[in-house]
Amino acid sequence: MTACNDEHLTAIREGVRALCADFPADYWRRIDEEKGFPDAFVSAMTAAGWLSAMIPEQYGGSGLGLAEASVILEEVNRCGGNSGTIHGQMYNMFTLLRHGSEAQKNHYLPRLASGELRLQSMGVTEPTTGTDTTRIKTTAVRQGDTYVINGQKVWISRVQHSDLMILLARTTPLAEVTKKVDGMSIFLVDLREAIGNGLTVQPIANMVNHETNELFFDNLQIPADSLIGEEGKGFRYILDGLNAERTLIAAECIGDGRWFVEKSAQYARDRVVFGRPIGQNQGVQFPIAEAHIELEAADLMRWQACADYDAGRNAGASANMAKYLAAKASWEAANACLQTHGGFGFACEYDVERKFRETRLYQVAPISTNLILSYVAEHLLELPRSF
């Protein structure tokens, strides 16, 4: 298991914190108020090499593992930022990195490492299927040297600030496959070419400043060499990226949780009512202490998931459990922080309400807590499949 106090990881933490110091609370507050996108922050993270951490050195990256990537995203959130604006670049490229051809990797990975291109989007979820991914209806039909895409996706993030998108579509109808996980394929779509030429993007307004969209494909033509790996094996390929995604989201939640705990403890020390700090009252200090304990426990599972993934082991169980524990711990820390601040927790200038909204998302996405419980029940406890 990776040690969280490793000197190497400490150096990464310090480097990310130094960069984040240039993007203080008022920067993120303004971005949130404007429903904007933190382009300056993303560009700075790219220029510093943090977003290419997991790209192998031969392609211009740092060749680091999931453990290091998780620390980068954790520290962004712990510093009060929102790593949801950059995490797609981390996990979306796993499918390309592990299953792309040498020609694809040579063409795209150096450009992703340098920041010339952004790969921030993954198109999987659909309105009528949700997490029942094997029943997706978006199709990709081979016609000569192109694939023609038709269908619809929903909750697809950062399309407006990405050049490329990983897309999952059915290449063989569900009725014609022996296993329902077969017949789906992964494509790398050039959004610069696609939007307006068969792809329509409809933004979805939401309670968090999280840029997300509904996508409509109407006879979108993409080159046949957009296919990643073998046709029909896309569902298996994308699982690699999903396990990485869940582990990275866990790290983000831990960063959020530590921000809430540190914010709560500081306010509880400084706020004096009835002649003493409110943190002297057990009713105030116990929820903060409990949040800290639960975050530390979730952190251990995060490291287990990173160790499994980086060692090439199946990280399905540890990644799911890490995401569950961390999302739950960060949400409880958020509640404790808001309660500690009382009315001031609702004031935008304290940033609690913004981070409160941001961390609530991870009870639902990228996989809901109920689906994780179902996974654990079926795959670890050998209970009957519940759906």
Q: For helices 282-310 and 234-270, give the axis angle rounded to 10 degrees.
A: 150
| Distance of alpha carbon 145 from alpha carbon 223, whole angstroms | 6
Q: Where along the chain do its domains lie?
A: 3-114, 121-231, 236-381
Dihedral angle over CA of 93, 74, 331, 238, nearest 10: 10
Pairing of strands 119-123, 276-277: unpaired
Q: For helices 282-310 and 316-341, give the axis angle rounded to 10 degrees.
A: 160
- Specify the higher pLDDT residue, 88 or 139: 139
User: Across residues 356-366, what is the average pLDDT?
Assistant: 95
Give the whole-number percent of the chain exceeding pLDDT 70: 99
Q: For helices 352-360 and 316-341, give the axis angle rounded to 10 degrees.
A: 150
Task: Tell which residue, 256, 286, 282, 280, has the closest CA to residue 268.
Answer: 280
Task: Kindly state which CATH superfamily the domain 236-381 is placed in.
Answer: Butyryl-CoA Dehydrogenase, subunit A, domain 3 (1.20.140.10)
| Distance of alpha carbon 116 from alpha carbon 108, whole angstroms | 9
| Neighbouring-strand partners of residue 272 | 277
User: Across residues 258-277, what is the average pLDDT?
Assistant: 98
User: Across residues 142-160, what is the average pLDDT?
Assistant: 97
| Distance of alpha carbon 24 from alpha carbon 29, whole angstroms | 9
At 172-192, the pLDDT tens digits run 999 999 999 999 999 999 999
What does the mean pLDDT of the chain come to? 95
User: Across residues 248-268, what is the average pLDDT?
Assistant: 98
CA distances from 86 to 24, 39, 274, 325 (A): 17, 10, 44, 22
Task: Tell which residue, 333, 28, 84, 92, has the closest CA to residue 210.
Answer: 84
CA angle 43, 45, 47 (to 5 degrees): 65
Q: 121-231 domain in CATH 2.40.420.20?
A: no
Residue 19 structure tokens:
């960069």
Task: Kindly state which CATH superfamily the domain 3-114 is placed in.
Answer: Acyl-CoA dehydrogenase/oxidase, N-terminal domain (1.10.540.10)
| Distance of alpha carbon 122 from alpha carbon 155, whole angstroms | 10
| Distance of alpha carbon 331 from alpha carbon 365, whole angstroms | 13
Q: Based on the number of CB atoms within 10 Å of its own CB, is 56 exposed (0-12), middle (13-18) or buried (19 or more)? A: middle
Residue 124 has pLDDT above 70, yes or no: yes
Q: Please report the pLDDT score of residue 240 as a whole number.
A: 77
User: Across residues 255-276, what is the average pLDDT?
Assistant: 98
At 42-67, the pLDDT tens digits run 999 999 999 999 999 999 999 999 99
User: Across residues 307-329, what is the average pLDDT?
Assistant: 96
At 194-243, the pLDDT tens digits run 999 999 999 999 999 999 999 999 999 999 999 999 999 999 998 878 89
Q: Please report the pLDDT score of residue 5 as a whole number.
A: 55
Across 174-212, b (16+ Cβ under 10 Å) vs e yields eeeeeeeebbbbbbbbebeebbeebbbbeeeeeebbbbb
| Neighbouring-strand partners of residue 108 | none
Q: Are the CB atoms for 64 and 74 separated by under 8 Å?
A: no
- 2: confidence class by pLDDT, cuts 50, 70, 90: very low
Q: Please report the pLDDT score of residue 92 as a whole number.
A: 87
Q: Please report the pLDDT score of residue 79 as a whole number.
A: 98
Q: Please report the pLDDT score of residue 1 as a whole number.
A: 46
Q: Based on the number of CB atoms within 10 Å of its own CB, is 295 exposed (0-12), middle (13-18) or buried (19 or more)? A: buried
What is the pTM (predicted TM-score) of this model? 0.94
| Distance of alpha carbon 8 from alpha carbon 228, whole angstroms | 34
User: Across residues 28-35, what is the average pLDDT?
Assistant: 96
User: Across residues 256-271, what is the average pLDDT?
Assistant: 98
Q: Please report the pLDDT score of residue 4 as a whole number.
A: 52
At 277-305, the pLDDT tens digits run 999 999 999 999 999 999 999 999 999 99
Is the backbone of residue 95 left (phi > 0), alpha (psi -120 to 50) or beta? alpha
| Distance of alpha carbon 139 from alpha carbon 118, whole angstroms | 25
